[in-house]
């Protein structure tokens, strides 16, 4: 079966939570409540194989010029098939259509994002509201070894 990409509906939230749960447990991805996902449902992009959710990413807008890729997850059985790359490309394309100038990624997967045109930046250059709104929820805060990367659209 081939992979298709779509925008989610609110009915997709349980499958999204199930897919991301192992990475939340390890602290790789921040937890998001069902209400938080519902509030931001339009920012997500899903990868599907038939009716099965196999990956997703969110494009969270911080300002008229900056957005962040969040909560990217690919089912372990589907990694290495360019699904993540396509999700990132879809999110960046939407960012371009909206008029964004840059897309940020905080990640442990530096090489993946660099292959897609992202460049490393100092964490100190990330908007302060990002750090306090999200990073403080992380089990690794304040000792974080994620890498900050940005892509100009």
Judged against a pLDDT cut of 60, whether residue 129 lies above it is answered with no
Q: What is the pLDDT of residue 64?
A: 93
If one compares 8 and 132, the residue with the highest pLDDT of the two is 8
Helix (H, G, I), strand (E, B) or coil at 50: coil
Judged against a pLDDT cut of 60, whether residue 142 lies above it is answered with no
Question: For residues 5 and 48, is the Cβ–Cβ distance under 8 A?
Answer: yes
If one compares 38 and 106, the residue with the highest pLDDT of the two is 38
Q: What is the pLDDT of residue 125?
A: 77
Judged against a pLDDT cut of 90, whether residue 94 lies above it is answered with yes
* pLDDT mean over 107-133: 81
Judged against a pLDDT cut of 60, whether residue 114 lies above it is answered with yes
Q: What is the pLDDT of residue 135?
A: 57
If one compares 4 and 146, the residue with the highest pLDDT of the two is 4
Judged against a pLDDT cut of 70, whether residue 134 lies above it is answered with no
Cα 44 off chain centre by: 8
* pLDDT mean over 3-30: 94
């Amino acid at each position: 079966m081939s992979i298709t990409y779509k925008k989610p509906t609110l009915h997709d939230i349980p499958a999204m939570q199930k897919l991301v749960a192992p990475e939340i447990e390890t602290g790789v991805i921040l937890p998001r409540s069902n209400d938080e996902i519902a509030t931001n449902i339009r920012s997500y992009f899903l990868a599907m194989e038939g009716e099965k959710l196999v990956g997703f990413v969110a494009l969270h807008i911080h300002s008229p010029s900056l957005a962040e890729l969040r909560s990217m997850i690919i089912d372990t059985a589907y990694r290495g098939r360019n699904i993540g790359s396509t999700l990132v490309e879809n999110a960046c394309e939407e960012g371009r259509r909206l008029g964004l100038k840059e897309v940020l990624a905080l990640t442990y997967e530096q090489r993946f994002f660099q292959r897609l045109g992202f460049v490393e930046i100092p964490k100190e250059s990330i908007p302060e509201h990002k750090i306090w709104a999200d990073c403080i929820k992380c089990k690794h805060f304040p000792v974080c070894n994620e890498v900050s990367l940005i892509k100009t659209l």
